[in-house]
């Protein structure tokens, strides 16, 4: 098993470089993110509510205290409204307003930090008190980093911008108040910068881990879905192959009894006719079993079956024509090839088996008198056509395409409607060769196989 290749993650935003993958990730964590954000902002609102009761007694100390209390009340109300809105949005379809509400709440929080820190620093009248207040402010803001990081865990850019603005504001306050004590510079400033770095790397690691786990879950789900599909397809192939082989085997047994009777009667013409039928039936059964065995090798990805080699189509198709022509009674069916010089990048073994199956179907089951095998390059690809003038696959017009063939075949309504082409479509699917088969009653069948042209 090969190593899983992880998608690229943007170092600044912490998001997947692939926009579609990032959108899928955010949808997967959206409900969790909204509920977590609602819990955090409501908890913050309760803390501010407690602070208001303490600050009501200090309104006379500073004229900005009234503004601070009003701002805290606004934050409490906005937190409750934001939380209620997010919880209301959880069972509904995602909307850009959810992120806009978070951005507005963070902006209001930044204003609150600016007002609180300015008002409380202005209340200090001694160098010691001012230094202690700066330290308290730095520790309080660094704790805020953690809360904001949790709220915005799926959008690292918002958290980093929030932290950067807080650090810049702290150093602006140092420049304005100019404390004489070195502690606000050494301890407070250092703790702010270190916390900002920790926030950056924590968001990078946690966001990256969450996104990688999300990618692993998607890879596992895709692999499981493909494995279940392959299992269903193989079960279908086993069923249809058994059905296709059962009638020839019964005919072999019946012909053996008839041949024994013809020999007993010394009826040489009848014995020869039965022997010819036995030969044709044996070839038919051998063809079915060989196709199943070769398909099983391809399913196991054995060497030579699903590789991409440069295949000269002229030689390959001429060999297929000669091989199939040997199965045709002399003069009964005209099998011709028209091949333009071209080279395809594909598995020669699988393409040979696909084309042999299509030709044998046309010869044995379509009642065709003329079969054409055509190959020509077109728009950077090689198109191979198998055309017959038989009666068609069904009494109604059919248009079968490899893109949705098995999705339709695996539905209950499509039981026994594969027209004996399950093996062919599965082989084409394994080598990524789009196959389309069109059938018209009384007008024959056209099979179109598309291969990538070899470079150069």
Q: Of 176, 193, 224, which residue is a domain's last?
A: 224
Residue 166 belongs to some domain of the structure: yes
Residue 271 structure tokens: 């014995």
Question: Is there a contact between 133 and 121 (Cβ–Cβ < 8 Å)?
Answer: yes
Q: Of 161, 190, 224, which residue is a domain's last?
A: 224
Q: Of 206, 224, 242, which residue is a domain's last?
A: 224
Residue 270 belongs to some domain of the structure: no
| The 3-state secondary structure of the chain, one letter per residue | CCCCCCCCECCCCCCECCHHHHHHHHHHHHHHHHHHHHHHHHHHHHHHHHHHHHHHHHHHHCCHHHHHHHHHHHHHHHHHHHHHHHHHHCCCCCCHHHHHHHHHHHHHHHHHHHHHHHHHHHHCCCHHHHHHHHHHHHHHHHHHHHHHHHHCCCCHHHHHHHHHHHHHHHHHHHHHHCCCCCHHHHHHHHHHHHHHHHHHHHHHHHHHHHHHHHHHHHHHHHHHHHHHHHHHHHHHHHHHHHHHHHHHHHHHHHHHHHHHHHHHCCCHHHHHHHHHHHHHHHHHHHHHHHHHHHHHHHHCCCCCCCCCEEEEHHHHHHHHHHHHHCCCCCCCCEEEEEECCCEEEECHHHHHHHHHHHHHHHHHHCCCCEEEEEEEEECCEEEEEEEECCCCCCCCCEEEECCCHHHHHCCHHHCCCCCCCHHHHHHHHHCCCCEEEEEECCCEEEEEEEEEECCC
For the whole model, what pTM was predicted?
A: 0.56
Residue 277 belongs to some domain of the structure: no
Q: What is the pLDDT of residue 1?
A: 47
Residue 351 belongs to some domain of the structure: yes
Q: Is the dihedral of CA 376, 381, 384, 385 positive or negative?
A: negative
Spatial distance between the Cα atoms of 357 and 416, rounded to a whole number of angstroms: 18
Q: Are residues 27 and 116 in the same domain?
A: yes
- For β-strands 343-346 and 370-378, DSSP reports them as unpaired
Residue appearing with tokens 């692999």: 223
Give the chain's domain count. 2
Q: What is the pLDDT of residue 418?
A: 45
Q: What is the pLDDT of residue 243?
A: 63
Residue 339 belongs to some domain of the structure: yes
Which of 373, 376, 351 lies closest to 362, judged by CA? 373
Question: Is there a contact between 392 and 400 (Cβ–Cβ < 8 Å)?
Answer: no
Q: What is the CATH number of the domain that holds 352?
A: 3.30.565.10
Q: Are residues 208 and 325 in the same domain?
A: no
Q: Are residues 182 and 50 in the same domain?
A: yes
Q: What is the pLDDT of residue 385?
A: 92
Which pLDDT tens digits describe the chain residue by residue (456 residues)?
A: 456 777 888 777 777 888 888 888 888 888 888 898 899 889 888 888 888 877 787 777 777 788 888 888 998 999 999 999 999 999 998 888 988 998 899 899 889 888 888 888 888 878 898 889 889 888 888 888 777 877 776 777 888 888 889 899 999 999 999 988 888 888 888 888 888 888 777 777 777 778 888 888 888 888 787 777 767 666 766 776 666 667 677 777 777 877 788 788 877 888 888 787 777 777 767 777 777 777 777 766 666 555 677 888 888 888 888 888 777 665 577 888 888 888 888 888 888 888 888 888 777 767 778 888 888 888 888 999 999 888 887 788 888 887 777 766 655 544 444 445 777 888 888 888 899 989 888 888 899 999 988 875
The tally of CA atoms less than 13 A away on the side-chain side of residue 430 is: 29
Question: Is there a contact between 283 and 291 (Cβ–Cβ < 8 Å)?
Answer: no
Residue 280 belongs to some domain of the structure: no
Range of the domain at 364: 304-456
Q: What is the pLDDT of residue 85?
A: 94
Residue 137 belongs to some domain of the structure: yes
């Amino acid at each position: 098993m090969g190593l899983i290749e992880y998608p690229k993650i943007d170092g600044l935003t912490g998001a997947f470089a692939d926009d579609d993958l990032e959108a899928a990730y955010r949808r997967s964590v959206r409900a969790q993110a909204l509920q977590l954000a609602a819990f955090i902002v409501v908890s913050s609102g309760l803390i501010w509510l407690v602070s208001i009761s303490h600050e009501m007694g200090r309104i006379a100390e500073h004229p900005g205290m009234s503004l601070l209390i009003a701002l805290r009340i606004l934050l409490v109300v906005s937190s409750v409204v934001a939380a209620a809105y997010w919880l209301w949005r959880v069972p509904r379809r995602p909307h850009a307003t959810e992120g806009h509400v978070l951005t507005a709440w963070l902006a209001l929080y930044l204003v609150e930090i600016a007002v609180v820190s300015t008002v409380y620093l202005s209340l200090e009248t001694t160098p010691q008190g001012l230094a202690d207040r700066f330290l308290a402010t730095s520790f309080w803001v660094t704790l805020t980093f953690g809360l904001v990081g949790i709220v915005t865990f799926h959008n690292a850019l918002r958290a980093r911008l929030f932290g950067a603005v807080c650090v810049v504001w702290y150093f602006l306050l140092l420049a304005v108040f100019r404390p004489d004590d070195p502690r606000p510079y050494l301890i407070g400033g250092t703790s702010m910068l270190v916390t900002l770095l920790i926030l950056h790397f924590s968001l990078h690691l946690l966001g990256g881990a969450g996104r990688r786990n999300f990618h692993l879950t998607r890879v596992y789900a895709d692999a499981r879905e493909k494995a279940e599909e392959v299992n269903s397809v193989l079960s279908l192939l086993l069923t249809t192959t058994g059905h296709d082989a059962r009638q020839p085997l019964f005919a072999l047994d019946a012909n053996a009894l008839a041949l024994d009777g013809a020999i007993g009667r010394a009826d040489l013409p009848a014995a020869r006719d039965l022997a010819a039928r036995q030969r044709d039936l044996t070839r038919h059964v051998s063809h079915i079993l060989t196709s199943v065995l070769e398909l099983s090798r391809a399913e196991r990805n054995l060497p030579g079956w699903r590789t991409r080699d440069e295949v000269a189509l002229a030689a390959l198709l001429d060999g297929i024509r000669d091989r199939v022509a040997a199965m045709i009674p002399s003069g009964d069916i005209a099998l011709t090839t028209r091949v333009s010089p071209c080279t395809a990048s594909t598995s020669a073994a699988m393409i040979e088996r696909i084309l042999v199956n299509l030709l044998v179907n046309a010869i044995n089951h379509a009642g065709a008198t003329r079969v054409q095998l055509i190959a020509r390059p077109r728009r950077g690809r090689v198109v191979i056509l198998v055309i017959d003038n038989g009666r068609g696959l069904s009494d109604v017009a059919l248009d079968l395409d490899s893109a949705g063939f098995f999705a339709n075949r695996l539905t209950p309504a499509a039981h026994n409607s594969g027209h004996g082409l399950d093996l062919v479509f599965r082989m084409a699917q394994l080598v990524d060769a789009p196959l389309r088969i069109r059938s018209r009653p009384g007008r024959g069948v056209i099979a179109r196989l598309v291969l990538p042209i070899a470079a150069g």
